[in-house]
Amino acid sequence: MIRRSALIFLCALPVLSICTGNALCASADTLRQTSFADRLLQLDWPVAGVPVVGYAPETGWELGAAVAAFFPAGDAERRSYMQVSGAWTTQRQWYVSLSSNLYLPRGWFMLVRGGYRDYPDSWYGIGNDIKGHLAAERYASRRGTFTLQPQYRLPLHWSIGLHVHFLWEDIYKRPEVETPSSLPSSVSPTVLWGLGPVVQYDTRDELYYPRRGLFFKAVGAYYGSESGSTARVGRISADLRQFVPLYKDLIFAWQFSGDVALGKDKPFQLLPTLGGQDLVRGVRRNMFRDDVALALQAELRIPVWSLLKATVFAGVGDVYNLADWRWAVPKVGYGAGVRACFNKAKIHLRFDVARSNVNPSWRLDGWSFYFTCTEAF
């Protein structure tokens, strides 16, 4: 969904938190000896919620909420995380989503992602030509997704596991939305079941706001008719990140991401994309998609005061076709943001403002706004 005039008031709205009774039992003497910021972190909020208010031409007003919980699930050193969010729009569209990292006993941990939506989406076409992607067409769809990655930790910071991915999408007609004629025809509904390995290397000192360390993850998946998929396709992705402390809490972070889809008749829903709230911020979500997506981004994380931090970031990337590889003007996104830490796990509320060379207008519709928990990478 393209947010041409999103009104993001979230960073100014209060965080609604509930803390456990045990956390409130700290003695008055202890609290007097610590700063206000330290007291907040000592309380160790287990649940936090934020309201969601926004506007987009495709949806009208959007109202909803996001609630995140932080808890031990068997690993004494790592805190598990679960977030549930949902919203309803004045054009009678809605979505719900789930995101979780579970750190279990005996070296096991699990990533879980899922969601369902009845929402309009934007179709820009396939390829990396900027001129052909400036105008979006709308189409209506119902989509459900689910990702599960159980992994087992090995010596020397490695882990291996299984990647399970499910995607279901039904493109249907709504009176106010005309399905674009350029939208690739495919079996409707599209059903994709993917299965493959995942390998990970992780030396980060913190999970959600690392100061130092290296992170690498490679995932492969095969989608075939044997598993009930309506297409036969493969997908491989790789993610490399590094975090370097420059001076005290001043941190330089960078990430390289690569994503490849393989097969003859690849459904457009499974093609790698560029843009959104995590990868090359400032480029609209799903604006560019093709067989291959490559991106490099970096940011400087700056301590400001107490629990508040700031960041400046930039990213560059593009998409390419395996059968007809053509170079084009790289897609560049850049911007700045603020962070607010509120628990011991160092999970931050994140608000970013970004723009790109794709739509360089200084008007409001040339900017993108993002508000969420946890960092982009």
Give me the residues paired with residue 200 across strands: 159, 217
CB 39 within 8 A of CB 28: no
Give the CA angle between residues 292, 83, 165 to the nearest 5°: 40
CA distances from 18 to 10, 56, 80, 160, 347 (A): 18, 31, 17, 36, 16
pLDDT digits (tens, 9 = 90+) for 276-320: 889 999 998 888 999 999 999 999 999 998 889 999 999 999 999
Tell me, yes or no, whether 96 lies in a domain: yes
Tell me, yes or no, whether 2 lies in a domain: no
Alpha-carbon Rg for the chain, nearest whole angstrom, is 21
Tell me, yes or no, whether 124 lies in a domain: yes
Q: Is the pLDDT of residue 366 over 90?
A: no
pLDDT digits (tens, 9 = 90+) for 149-188: 999 999 999 999 999 999 999 988 877 777 787 888 666 7
Tell me, yes or no, whether 200 lies in a domain: yes
Residue 295's closest CA among 269, 276, 270? Answer: 276
Tell me, yes or no, whether 5 lies in a domain: no
pLDDT digits (tens, 9 = 90+) for 19-45: 333 332 333 333 334 454 555 455 556
pLDDT grade for 58, boundaries at 50, 70 and 90: low
Residue 377's closest CA among 252, 222, 193? Answer: 252
- Domain count for the chain: 1
For the residues of 131-143, what is the DSSP string, one character each? GGGSS-EEEEEEE
Residue 263's closest CA among 331, 199, 186? Answer: 186
Tell me, yes or no, whether 333 lies in a domain: yes
Which pLDDT value is given to residue 335? 96
Backbone dihedral angles phi then psi of residue 243, each to the nearest 5 degrees: -125, 125
The domain of 296 spans 10-373
**Arithmetic mean of pLDDT over the chain:** 83
Token representation of residue 220: 């492969």
* Residue found by looking up tokens 């519709």 in the block: 365
Tell me, yes or no, whether 1 lies in a domain: no
Residues 6+ apart with CB under 8 A from 168: 143, 144, 145, 189, 190, 191, 192
Which pLDDT value is given to residue 303? 94
Tell me, yes or no, whether 315 lies in a domain: yes
Q: What is the domain-level CATH number for residue 317?
A: 2.40.160.50
pLDDT grade for 53, boundaries at 50, 70 and 90: low
How far is C-alpha 156 from the chain's CA centre?
A: 28
Which whole number is the average pLDDT over 248-266?
A: 95
